[in-house]
Amino acid sequence: MSNEVLKVDADLSAVKVIQSVGGDTVKRCYQCATCSSVCPLSSDEAPFPRRQMILAQWGFKERLLSDPSIWLCHQCGDCTKYCPRNARPGDVFASLRLLVTRELVPFRFMHTFYNNLWGLPILILIALMFILPVMFLTFKGVPNISDPVSFPYNPELNYKLAFIELPARVLMIDLIFLPLAVFIIVIMANAVSRMWNMYLDYYKIPVAYRSSWITIIKTYLGPAFREILAHSRFEKCGSNSWRANPHKMLLYAFIILFITTGTVFILADILGMHTPWNPFTHPVKWLGNVGGILLLYGIISLITGRNRAVLENSLKTAYPDAFLLWLILFVGISGFSIEIARMIPVFYNFVGFIYLCHIISVFLLFLAIPYSKFSHLVFRTTAMTFDLYYKDILKKKDL
């Protein structure tokens, strides 16, 4: 009999993170594998979530970081429903995704602020630290937010940039959100690149089979996008199949609002056609309103459906879930409230205050992309793209 001692380096700090963001049941798992047999997305080549449960119990961060299946899970809750130990693998997977996000993106303290209730006032202060100086700069001092003609619709404060004239409100939004967008794109591009390279190394994909970024985007990203748009994996879910439709509506809402924002940027910032536009007569406003209605429909359905699922024990709502849901709801309600308050005289003096609240919430939602479960927008897309790529390689060669 061998006397060799197998040394296991458990990472207890990683286990603590998993437990603190919703995966507190991870230690209950006793590896019966019921979950892997009921998971509708688990395959023979890469069964989950039983294996990931034991990796999570030991805090094997590197192995979890290199595992795309964590992102293929849509938290349908089928495994949670049948687990004899109530170890809630679906919820543990959600916390594993947060752990991976925390490891891949710089400025970890932001991740801590985003995923703990006590961090919320700090996040609001951070948003104000960025927004208020830009507001005071563009409005040449402290505007009166109880007077919409002072803030945000001051007709006298215009800035001439080259051949374009920008109202203070438009310049303020540009100065806040363009640098924020650049920051997010840079850190997420770096995180995606690290994630992809870890997958390549973990699956030991020979250099001869590694494709260029252009080929990956052309061949695999398109089909991954189509799958995401159709939500076909979501629809395989059993216990929480209700999530497919509202989640899809929310995705479409974000796409429409992204197109609307891009169009406003081109029309207002580049061509100088200044807002505010009439919500009843301007087509860009119609588009924005359709996006806003879909957003409210999707998010309200997700919140109410989730509450039902919690009662049925197929899903758990941890703080990171609740925070993102309520933040999106706040963005939707505050956006519509600006339009409504502008039209109703009794609310007119609240427009500046609502506008400021809306900017803060949009700022926090943007910044949630790298630091909250909202990161799944990018990381799940990457993992699904890798999944398609890897399946293709397996067809070409037995690796």
Residue 157 binding ligand SF4, by CB under 6 A: no
Residue 46 binding ligand SF4, by CB under 6 A: no
Q: State which of positions 61-120 bind ligand SF4 (CB under 6 A).
A: 73-79, 83, 85, 87, 89-90, 93
CB 97 within 8 A of CB 49: no
Which CB atom, from 26 or from 356, has the smaller least distance to ligand SF4? 26
Peptide bond before 223: cis, by omega within 30 degrees of 0?
A: no
Position among 21, 29, 157, 324 found at the interface with ligand SF4 (CB under 6 A): 29
Q: Looking up tokens 């990956």, which residue turns up?
A: 216
Nearest Cα to Cα of residue 384 among 221, 265, 165, 238: 221
H/E stretch holding 21 reads none
| CA atoms within a 13 Å half-sphere pointing along the CA-CB vector of 64 | 31
Beta strands 164-167; 158-161: pairing state: antiparallel
Q: What type of residue is 172? A: M
Residue 380 binding ligand SF4, by CB under 6 A: no
Q: For residues 143 and 147, what is the distance between their CA atoms, to the nearest angstrom?
A: 8
| C-alpha torsion sign, points 257, 262, 263, 264 | positive
Which CB atom, from 96 or from 157, has the smaller least distance to ligand SF4? 96
CB of 237 to ligand SF4, least distance (A): 6
CB of 315 to ligand SF4, least distance (A): 9
Position among 19, 27, 34, 221 found at the interface with ligand SF4 (CB under 6 A): 34
How many residues bind ligand SF4, per CB under 6 A?
26
CB 311 within 8 A of CB 240: no
CB of 55 to ligand SF4, least distance (A): 12
CB of 30 to ligand SF4, least distance (A): 5
Nearest Cα to Cα of residue 200 among 186, 218, 216: 216
Contact stretch for ligand SF4 (CB under 6 A) within 35-43, 130-138, 181-189, 288-296: 35-43
Give rounded-to-5 percent helix, strand, coil for the chain: 70, 0, 30
H/E stretch holding 219 reads none
Position among 22, 49, 167, 288 found at the interface with ligand SF4 (CB under 6 A): 49
CB of 308 to ligand SF4, least distance (A): 17
Contact stretch for ligand SF4 (CB under 6 A) within 45-53, 98-106, 218-226, 251-259: 45-53
Given the rule CB under 6 A, which residues bind ligand SF4? 29-35, 39, 41, 48-50, 53, 73-79, 83, 85, 87, 89-90, 93
